[in-house]
Protein backbone atom coordinates (compact mmCIF):
# COMPACT_ATOMS: atom_id res chain seq x y z
CA UNK A 1 0.00 0.00 0.00
CA UNK A 2 2.04 3.01 1.22
CA UNK A 3 2.72 6.04 -0.91
CA UNK A 4 1.10 4.34 -3.86
CA UNK A 5 -2.05 4.83 -1.91
CA UNK A 6 -1.35 8.53 -1.96
CA UNK A 7 -3.33 8.47 -5.18
CA UNK A 8 -6.25 8.75 -2.77
CA UNK A 9 -5.37 12.41 -2.42
CA UNK A 10 -7.10 15.26 -4.25
CA UNK A 11 -6.57 18.95 -4.09
CA UNK A 12 -8.98 21.50 -2.72
CA UNK A 13 -8.78 25.15 -1.72
CA UNK A 14 -9.88 25.01 1.91
CA UNK A 15 -7.70 25.26 4.99
CA UNK A 16 -4.82 22.83 5.41
CA UNK A 17 -6.76 20.44 7.63
CA UNK A 18 -9.90 20.69 5.54
CA UNK A 19 -7.77 19.99 2.47
CA UNK A 20 -6.37 16.90 4.13
CA UNK A 21 -9.84 15.63 5.04
CA UNK A 22 -10.93 16.06 1.45
CA UNK A 23 -7.84 14.36 0.12
CA UNK A 24 -8.12 11.33 2.35
CA UNK A 25 -11.79 10.83 1.46
CA UNK A 26 -11.22 10.89 -2.28
CA UNK A 27 -10.73 7.82 -4.47
CA UNK A 28 -8.49 9.63 -6.95
CA UNK A 29 -5.48 11.94 -6.56
CA UNK A 30 -6.71 14.16 -9.37
CA UNK A 31 -9.72 14.26 -11.59
CA UNK A 32 -9.00 13.41 -15.17
CA UNK A 33 -6.09 15.69 -16.00
CA UNK A 34 -3.03 13.47 -15.83
CA UNK A 35 -4.28 10.28 -14.28
CA UNK A 36 -1.96 8.02 -16.24
CA UNK A 37 1.13 10.12 -15.58
CA UNK A 38 0.42 10.20 -11.87
CA UNK A 39 -0.34 6.49 -11.80
CA UNK A 40 3.05 5.84 -13.33
CA UNK A 41 4.58 8.27 -10.85
CA UNK A 42 2.90 6.77 -7.82
CA UNK A 43 3.72 3.23 -8.82
CA UNK A 44 7.34 4.17 -9.33
CA UNK A 45 7.53 5.83 -5.93
CA UNK A 46 5.79 3.10 -4.02
CA UNK A 47 7.70 2.17 -0.92
CA UNK A 48 5.61 -0.96 -0.48
CA UNK A 49 7.52 -2.68 -3.25
CA UNK A 50 10.54 -2.70 -0.97
CA UNK A 51 8.64 -4.46 1.81
CA UNK A 52 8.55 -8.25 1.89
CA UNK A 53 5.40 -9.66 0.28
CA UNK A 54 4.56 -11.59 3.44
CA UNK A 55 4.55 -8.39 5.49
CA UNK A 56 2.18 -6.71 3.02
CA UNK A 57 -0.37 -9.51 3.38
CA UNK A 58 -0.49 -9.41 7.18
CA UNK A 59 -3.36 -7.53 8.77
CA UNK A 60 -2.15 -4.06 9.72
CA UNK A 61 -1.93 -2.86 13.30
CA UNK A 62 -4.66 -0.36 14.08
CA UNK A 63 -3.89 0.71 17.64
CA UNK A 64 -1.65 3.68 16.95
CA UNK A 65 -1.07 6.37 19.54
CA UNK A 66 -2.43 9.87 19.03
CA UNK A 67 1.15 11.04 18.68
CA UNK A 68 1.84 8.57 15.86
CA UNK A 69 -1.36 9.57 14.08
CA UNK A 70 -0.59 13.29 14.42
CA UNK A 71 2.80 12.66 12.82
CA UNK A 72 1.09 10.59 10.11
CA UNK A 73 -1.33 13.46 9.37
CA UNK A 74 1.57 15.93 9.28
CA UNK A 75 3.53 13.74 6.85
CA UNK A 76 0.46 13.15 4.68
CA UNK A 77 -0.22 16.88 4.39
CA UNK A 78 3.40 17.47 3.35
CA UNK A 79 3.23 14.64 0.80
CA UNK A 80 0.00 16.03 -0.60
CA UNK A 81 1.66 19.42 -1.10
CA UNK A 82 4.60 17.76 -2.87
CA UNK A 83 2.22 15.84 -5.11
CA UNK A 84 0.23 18.97 -5.96
CA UNK A 85 3.45 20.59 -7.13
CA UNK A 86 4.36 17.44 -9.05
CA UNK A 87 1.06 17.55 -10.89
CA UNK A 88 1.84 21.04 -12.16
CA UNK A 89 5.40 20.07 -13.10
CA UNK A 90 4.24 17.00 -15.01
CA UNK A 91 1.74 19.00 -17.03
CA UNK A 92 4.50 21.53 -17.81
CA UNK A 93 6.81 18.71 -18.93
CA UNK A 94 4.15 17.19 -21.16
CA UNK A 95 3.13 20.50 -22.69
CA UNK A 96 6.77 21.53 -22.99
CA UNK A 97 7.25 18.60 -25.35
CA UNK A 98 4.41 19.86 -27.52
CA UNK A 99 1.86 17.26 -26.38
CA UNK A 100 -1.48 17.81 -24.79
CA UNK A 101 -2.29 15.87 -21.64
CA UNK A 102 -5.03 13.83 -23.31
CA UNK A 103 -2.71 12.60 -26.06
CA UNK A 104 -0.01 11.82 -23.51
CA UNK A 105 -2.47 9.83 -21.40
CA UNK A 106 -3.67 7.87 -24.43
CA UNK A 107 -0.10 7.04 -25.41
CA UNK A 108 0.79 6.01 -21.86
CA UNK A 109 -2.33 3.84 -21.59
CA UNK A 110 -1.51 2.17 -24.85
CA UNK A 111 2.06 1.54 -23.76
CA UNK A 112 0.95 -0.02 -20.46
CA UNK A 113 -1.77 -2.15 -22.03
CA UNK A 114 -1.05 -5.88 -22.32
CA UNK A 115 -2.71 -5.77 -25.76
CA UNK A 116 -1.46 -2.54 -27.27
CA UNK A 117 -3.73 -1.39 -30.04
CA UNK A 118 -2.39 0.56 -32.94
CA UNK A 119 -2.73 4.25 -32.23
CA UNK A 120 -2.06 6.60 -35.06
CA UNK A 121 0.70 8.76 -33.63
CA UNK A 122 3.30 10.67 -35.57
CA UNK A 123 6.97 9.90 -35.11
CA UNK A 124 7.34 13.42 -33.73
CA UNK A 125 4.71 12.72 -31.04
CA UNK A 126 6.36 9.39 -30.22
CA UNK A 127 9.67 11.17 -29.72
CA UNK A 128 8.02 13.90 -27.64
CA UNK A 129 6.30 11.24 -25.52
CA UNK A 130 9.62 9.46 -24.92
CA UNK A 131 11.32 12.70 -23.91
CA UNK A 132 8.45 13.65 -21.61
CA UNK A 133 8.57 10.21 -19.97
CA UNK A 134 12.31 10.54 -19.38
CA UNK A 135 11.82 13.92 -17.73
CA UNK A 136 8.92 12.64 -15.64
CA UNK A 137 10.98 9.65 -14.50
CA UNK A 138 13.81 11.97 -13.46
CA UNK A 139 11.27 14.10 -11.59
CA UNK A 140 9.94 10.95 -9.90
CA UNK A 141 13.32 10.26 -8.35
CA UNK A 142 13.46 13.78 -6.93
CA UNK A 143 9.90 13.59 -5.65
CA UNK A 144 10.44 10.23 -4.02
CA UNK A 145 13.34 11.71 -2.07
CA UNK A 146 11.24 14.76 -1.11
CA UNK A 147 8.43 12.52 0.14
CA UNK A 148 10.84 10.35 2.11
CA UNK A 149 12.32 13.49 3.64
CA UNK A 150 8.82 14.78 4.51
CA UNK A 151 7.99 11.53 6.29
CA UNK A 152 11.25 11.50 8.22
CA UNK A 153 10.86 15.23 9.05
CA UNK A 154 7.50 14.32 10.58
CA UNK A 155 9.36 12.00 12.94
CA UNK A 156 8.16 8.77 11.30
CA UNK A 157 10.09 5.96 9.72
CA UNK A 158 9.09 5.07 6.16
CA UNK A 159 7.91 1.62 7.19
CA UNK A 160 5.84 3.09 10.02
CA UNK A 161 4.19 5.57 7.65
CA UNK A 162 3.39 2.76 5.21
CA UNK A 163 1.91 0.61 7.97
CA UNK A 164 -0.32 3.43 9.21
CA UNK A 165 -1.43 4.22 5.64
CA UNK A 166 -2.32 0.58 5.05
CA UNK A 167 -4.25 0.43 8.33
CA UNK A 168 -5.96 3.73 7.50
CA UNK A 169 -7.16 2.37 4.18
CA UNK A 170 -8.55 -0.82 5.72
CA UNK A 171 -10.00 0.34 9.04
CA UNK A 172 -13.02 2.68 9.08
CA UNK A 173 -12.55 3.36 12.81
CA UNK A 174 -8.98 4.47 12.23
CA UNK A 175 -10.16 6.64 9.33
CA UNK A 176 -12.67 8.30 11.65
CA UNK A 177 -10.02 8.87 14.30
CA UNK A 178 -7.62 10.44 11.78
CA UNK A 179 -10.38 12.66 10.39
CA UNK A 180 -11.33 13.87 13.86
CA UNK A 181 -7.68 14.63 14.63
CA UNK A 182 -7.48 16.75 11.49
CA UNK A 183 -10.46 18.82 12.57
CA UNK A 184 -8.83 19.91 15.83
Q: How many residues are there in the chain?
A: 184
Statement: residue 168 has pLDDT above 70: yes
**Cα angle vertex 176, ends 27, 45, to 5°?**
40
What does the alpha-carbon distance between residue 54 and residue 56 come to, in Å, rounded to a whole number?
A: 5
pLDDT tens, residue by residue, 64-74: 999 999 999 99
Q: Mean pLDDT throughout 163-178?
A: 93
What does the alpha-carbon distance between residue 101 and residue 95 come to, in Å, rounded to a whole number?
A: 7
pLDDT tens, residue by residue, 20-46: 444 444 333 333 334 444 444 444 444
Domain boundaries, the chain: 2-182
Please report which confidence band the pLDDT of residue 60 belongs to, taking 50, 70 and 90 as the band edges.
Answer: low
Please report which confidence band the pLDDT of residue 14 belongs to, taking 50, 70 and 90 as the band edges.
Answer: very low
pLDDT tens, residue by residue, 101-130: 999 998 988 888 777 666 678 899 999 999
Find the DSSP H helices in 11-122. 16-25, 35-44, 53-57, 66-96, 101-112
**Cα angle vertex 29, ends 28, 33, to 5°?**
95
Amino acid sequence: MSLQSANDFVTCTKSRKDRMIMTLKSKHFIGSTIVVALTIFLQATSFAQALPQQQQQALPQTDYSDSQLERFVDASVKINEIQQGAQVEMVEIIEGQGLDVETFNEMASQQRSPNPEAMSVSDEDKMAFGQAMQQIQALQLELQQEMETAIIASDLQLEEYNQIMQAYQQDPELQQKVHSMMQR
